[in-house]
Amino acid sequence: MGDKYRVVLMGIENSPAYFEREMTRRGVPRASVRRILTLAPVVIKKDLGVEEARRFAAAVRAAGGRVEVQAWENSRGHAEEDPELLGPPLSAFTVCSQCGLKQRAGGTCERCGNPLKKT
């Protein structure tokens, strides 16, 4: 077993438009790219092995992002975490029609038990 690392986006090197274009080319939804730009510094991946974290960081750097790979223990409280980005793609989420809680699609609402429609 190894230590867990996380990847934090600190900012961008070029224009937001450049970063947005490069990230969407890599399969990140445009809305998510805009979101992480407004939230930065923000944790964009966590619970990675060191190799995986480095690979991910390199991909974001290639898109013009300034990223840090942080060991988990040393990084608490340093940056915001965005659960939407850390979890599955946004398309896997739905909003409960009863109570409005945003959550994973399928099954029943975690808060009110309303059946959720699949996306």
Q: Which residues bind Zn ion (CB under 5 A)?
A: 96, 98-99, 101, 109, 111-112, 114
Q: Minimum distance from CB of 104 to Zn ion (Å)?
A: 12
Q: Minimum distance from CB of 98 to Zn ion (Å)?
A: 4
Q: What gap in Å lies between CA 1 and CA 33, rounded to an integer?
A: 32
34 sits in which H/E element = helix 30-39
Q: Minimum distance from CB of 113 to Zn ion (Å)?
A: 7
Q: Minimum distance from CB of 60 to Zn ion (Å)?
A: 34
Please say which residue, 15 or 108, places its beta carbon nearer to Zn ion: 108
Could you give the C-alpha distances from 16 to 39, 51, 63, 96, 114, in angstroms and in order? 13, 27, 11, 32, 39
Please say which residue, 61 or 111, places its beta carbon nearer to Zn ion: 111
Please provide the DSSP assignment of 77-109 as one string. TTSEE-HHHHSS-GGGEEE-TTT--EEESSSB-
Please say which residue, 40 or 109, places its beta carbon nearer to Zn ion: 109
